[in-house]
Amino acid sequence: MTASVAAHSASPTKVTTLASPSGVEAWHVESDVVPLIAVAFTFEGGSAHDPEGKPGVAQMLARLLDEGAGDFDSDTFQEHLAARAIELSFNAGNDAIGGSLKTLVKHADEAFDLLRLALVEPRFDQDAIERVRAQTIAGLRYQQNDPGVMATRRFFEEGFAGHPYSRSTSGTLESVASITRDDLVAMHRAIITRGRIKIAVVGAINAERLSAQLDKVFGALPEAKPLTIIEPAVLGNLGSRFVVDLDVPQSVIRFGMQGIAWRDPSFIPAYVLNHILGGGAFTSRLFQEVREKRGLAYSVGTSLVSYRSAAMTWGYTATKNERVGEALQVIADEMARLRQDGPSDEELQKAKDYLIGSYALGFDTSTKIAHTLVQIAFEGLGVDYIGHRNGLVGAVTQADIRAAADRVLGDGRMLTVIAGRPTGL
């Protein structure tokens, strides 16, 4: 961000949009204060597009992009990164494959070159594939009886049964074992393309130089072809409760209901509602009732999740096996109270004050800014979103909250998954 940003300007940072000569677009924040450049990018298309019966391809693809490219085998590629302290990483989610690059300004040319190689010319050497496969399988085994991971897996299996979102991004022991080089090459060709990309660049690089780098790195990508359409999904099994039996003294609980997508005009009221119910501050209703008053759990909260083809609100907590019933009752009571009475005027105002005031806190490092911008671009919200977002929060009324509560909390039924050995349910 630039030092010239006024203390009370509506927008927490000054973003310009940039198009390179060949038409690659990026959102750009120029700042020379720290001699580094942070890049975030995301390609539309992810684990939801894993081939039938082979969950885990997108994630394995993401892990293989920096394991050898162009003339460099994996070890040589990693050595080029390490020798200049260039940080490059890729990840896969349901709807996108993304990544980030961080480099000192003095190594920018080399860093962008390596990024281009990773995206455009990954090698998928068989030894690298086998190594990443073994690492992925070890990771799956390591988490196999983790109550949090177990509960989350089951939650998605039950909540999105029959839909690609029901599958784990990491795949299964069986599916990861079956992934072939052809699967990886095909998915690379389908997703890592020009038409699918959003890019944000923050740091000590001017528009002219950035423009040239964008052409060099992303200009070489092939054009996009249409991907399989992921059908819209609605969280199912509301009103059902599932127990994953695990011999541990504490049960992990996941609970879910409907959500409102970020792209939906009613998203902001739902976001404020979520903050009141179980948002990140120590003041939320669930934090107060579950943790502060009763000591039922260390962590408790809810968050609003937007996928391309689904939206949900989901919550988390963990309590000793003997108190699971009590915790679920307290959570259900709070949701019922919020649904019936809504928040008080003061509660609503405090929530809006927090969400407005804290927005700038997400813009204090180059990496955070780049990631926030690329998410906004991915959601199609427009570059002016960060400037008017606080206005949208400020405008939320009690009526908006009630309407959001009707959609999100509905009739109060939830999908509940418990991993552990709960007693007295």
- Tell me which residues in 347-376 interact with another protein (CB under 8 A): 350, 353-361, 363-367
In sequence order, the 6+-apart residues with CB closer than 8 A to the CB of 230 are: 48, 49, 95, 164, 308, 309
Of 364 and 406, nearer to another protein (C-beta) is: 364
Using CB under 8 A as the binding rule, the residues of this chain from 316 to 335 that contact another protein are 318-320
DSSP track, 24-70:
-EEEEEE--SSSEEEEEEEEE--GGGSPTT-TTHHHHHHHHTTS-BT
Contact (Cβ atoms closer than 8 angstroms) between residue 112 and residue 217? yes
Binding to another protein by residue 109, rule CB under 8 A? no
Task: Output the smallest distance, CB 362 to another protein, in A.
Answer: 10
Using CB under 8 A as the binding rule, the residues of this chain from 249 to 268 that contact another protein are 249-250, 252
Task: Output the smallest distance, CB 11 to another protein, in A.
Answer: 11
Of 275 and 407, nearer to another protein (C-beta) is: 275
Using CB under 8 A as the binding rule, the residues of this chain from 403 to 422 that contact another protein are 420
Of 84 and 216, nearer to another protein (C-beta) is: 84
Of 307 and 363, nearer to another protein (C-beta) is: 363
Which amino acid does the sequence have at 372?
T
Count, residues near another protein per rule CB under 8 A: 76
DSSP track, 195-216:
GGEEEEEEES--HHHHHHHHHH
Would you state the torsion angle of the CA atoms of residues 165, 171, 172, 178, taken in this order, to the nearest 10 degrees?
A: 120
CA distance 257 to 280: 18
Which amino acid does the sequence have at 257?
M
Task: Output the smallest distance, CB 14 to another protein, in A.
Answer: 11
Using CB under 8 A as the binding rule, the residues of this chain from 123 to 182 that contact another protein are 131, 134-135, 137-139, 141-142, 144-147
Number of neighbours of residue 215 by Cβ within 10 angstroms: 15
Would you state the torsion angle of the CA atoms of residues 408, 413, 415, 421, taken in this order, to the nearest 10 degrees?
A: 130
Using CB under 8 A as the binding rule, the residues of this chain from 290 to 309 that contact another protein are 291-299
Of 272 and 310, nearer to another protein (C-beta) is: 272
Using CB under 8 A as the binding rule, the residues of this chain from 3 to 32 that contact another protein are 3, 5, 7-8, 12-13, 31
Contact (Cβ atoms closer than 8 angstroms) between residue 271 and residue 348? no
Of 227 and 246, nearer to another protein (C-beta) is: 246
Q: Which of 391, 64, 10, 386 is nearest to 202 (CA)?
A: 386
Using CB under 8 A as the binding rule, the residues of this chain from 47 to 106 that contact another protein are 74-75, 78-79, 82-85, 87, 102, 104
